[in-house]
């Protein structure tokens, strides 16, 4: 059995859709999906990882969500394609990305 997170084709086979490069979202925020759901941040270019300081996550509920770079480096898995899994909205919450 293959790993669902092994590559984009596996993710598509499991129903994930709407793959949009981060650069496109950065340049055109109207491309951010306006619907609830599960989303992934993928790294399809394995050798192109840069940690930045300060991060661009912004504050959430008055807290800084950024993690120190040394912690990111320590926990980073070199060959991982999925960097983050998140959920927008739910039964009692209509939040979108």
Give per-residue pLDDT as tens, 22-42: 888 888 888 877 778 888 888
Domain housing 49: 8-88
Coarse DSSP helix, strand, coil percentages of the chain, rounded to the nearest 5 percent: 25, 20, 60
Domain contains 54? yes
Domain contains 94? no
Domain contains 95? no
The total of structural domains in the chain comes to: 1
40-69: pLDDT as tens digits = 888 887 667 788 887 777 777 888 888 888
Confidence of residue 97 (pLDDT cuts 50, 70, 90): low
Cis peptide before 25 (omega within 30 of 0): no
Domain contains 22? yes
Q: How many CB atoms lie within 10 A of CB 60?
A: 8
Domain contains 50? yes
Domain contains 74? yes
Cα–Cα distance, 76 to 30 (Å, whole number) = 30
- For the question of whether the overall pTM of this predicted structure is more than 0.85, the answer is no
* Among 35, 3, 29, 2, residue whose Cα is nearest residue 17: 35
* pLDDT at position 73 over 80: yes
């Amino acid at each position: 059995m293959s790993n669902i997170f092994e590559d984009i084709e596996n993710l598509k086979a499991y129903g994930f859709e709407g793959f949009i490069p981060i650069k496109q979202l950065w340049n055109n925020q109207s491309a951010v999906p306006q619907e609830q759901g599960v989303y992934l941040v993928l790294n399809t270019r394995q050798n192109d990882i840069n940690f930045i300081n300060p991060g661009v996550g912004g504050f959430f509920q008055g807290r800084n969500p950024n993690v120190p770079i040394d912690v990111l480096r320590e926990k980073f898995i070199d060959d991982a394609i999925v960097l983050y899994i998140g959920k927008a909205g739910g039964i009692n919450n209509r939040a979108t990305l």
